[in-house]
Structure 1
């Protein structure tokens, strides 16, 4: 999957080609967002997305080699701010005024639940794509796999670094490790979004946070 290209300032033809390519990519992502949201994973075809975007299927496949990669590219920007927030928190180091790790974990789960509920149709389609890909490859996410939705839009990363740091600091139980428990928590949240379309943010937060704290901080009730 090719990322957007930056125009080369000294070559007008390269600049024009990169601008056209980026415009095509945006059109495909916008068309895919609408299609996956309205029709879901199974009933959306790259050929239909290409037609809506006004390009050929071959052009669409040149940008996104598979439907799995396309939906992940649509979904990734939704979770990117949450991952960035957690990275910024880690970069700032210890803050005596910050809430404890268990509270931060609940807050992060709530923030993720808000994003998922706000984009329920797209979240359901993304979850179906991730499940389908996992069954196909029969393996955990591979960072080198450019078609795996779990790699392109790594929803578990929203929780992973926070849990890993808290476990290393002894603030949360070290077992199961973050790499094991965070994908499970995220899968529960995404499955509830897909299978229980009226579930609220607070209900989702109580369920997933309750599971998280029950395993990682059993003496701390979810709020």
Structure 2
């Protein structure tokens, strides 16, 4: 008499559903970021985000009660978390503040300027006036903390004698201006596929920006760091 084939264990449907449920918020955030960057905040509809993530609109609202709250969650995930990482690095850093500034600039460029997350800044630049509550949120969660982080690095460099006596807040504006310009270009004219005659790459621009910044900031000469390519 033939023997019945042995039964193989398979994941319980409830376990698979649980894993899917736990992954859902991240899937919704990724879908929202993609659509916000592509279409802008005002033009993106909640049902589009839900459809892109493969869930119903009602499921989306279980996690994020409004489009505004969804956008805030995207900002916290994509940008505020990187600022928190920078604060953590500052807390444990024991070496040169110039090296730390260099690390921050390149890390933010690679993780923000070269990724969809950088498009959030373009959204705020173009739509903040129509959404003042979101503009205030972005200022509190991104602009002020990032500027304070960089200013603190400059203040520590001044206190140690590594940097000249300069206004830390003004130094931050000088430091981040070119990066913001590059990010806006990447997610506007650059995203449209328009080319121009400038032959330099963003990495060359950032390398020169750091070199020029440290020429005026350092109390002593510093060998220029080699240009880096994105990770």
TM bracket (short chain): 0.5 to 0.7
What is the SS of the residue equivalent to 1:173? coil
Is the CA contact 1:68–1:133 (under 8 Å) kept in the aligned structure 2? no
Q: Is contact 1:188–1:208 with CA below 8 Å preserved after alignment? A: yes
Larger Rg: 2
Alignment CA distance shift 1:157-1:168 (3 Å): same
Describe the SS at the equivalent of 2:167. coil
Counterpart of 2:121 (choices 114, 127, 142) is: 127
Gaps spanning 5+ residues in structure 2: where?
1-18, 226-231
CA distance in 1, matches of 2:40, 2:136: 15
List structure 1 segments (4+ residues) > 6 angstroms apart after TM superposition: 19-22
Q: 1:72 aligns with which of 65, 75, 80?
A: 75
Q: Paired residue for 1:83?
A: 87
Residue 31 of structure 1: aligned partner? 31
| CA shift in 2, pair 1:67/1:193, >3 Å | same
Query: What is the aligned partner in structure 1 of residue 156 from structure 2?
Result: 165
Distance of 2:102 and 2:77 partners within structure 1: 26
Q: In the aligned structure 1, how far is the partner of 2:201 from the partner of 2:87? A: 22
The answer as to whether partners of 1:167 and 1:174 remain within 8 angstroms in 2 is yes
Any unmatched runs of 5+ in structure 1? 1-18, 90-94
Q: Which of 153, 168, 175 is equivalent to 1:185?
A: 175
1:109 aligned partner: 105
The answer to whether the Cα contact below 8 Å between 2:154 and 2:163 also exists between their aligned partners in 1 is yes
TM-score normalized with structure 1 length? 0.61
TM-score between both structures, scaled by the size of structure 2: 0.59
Higher relative contact order (CA 8 A, sep 6+): 1
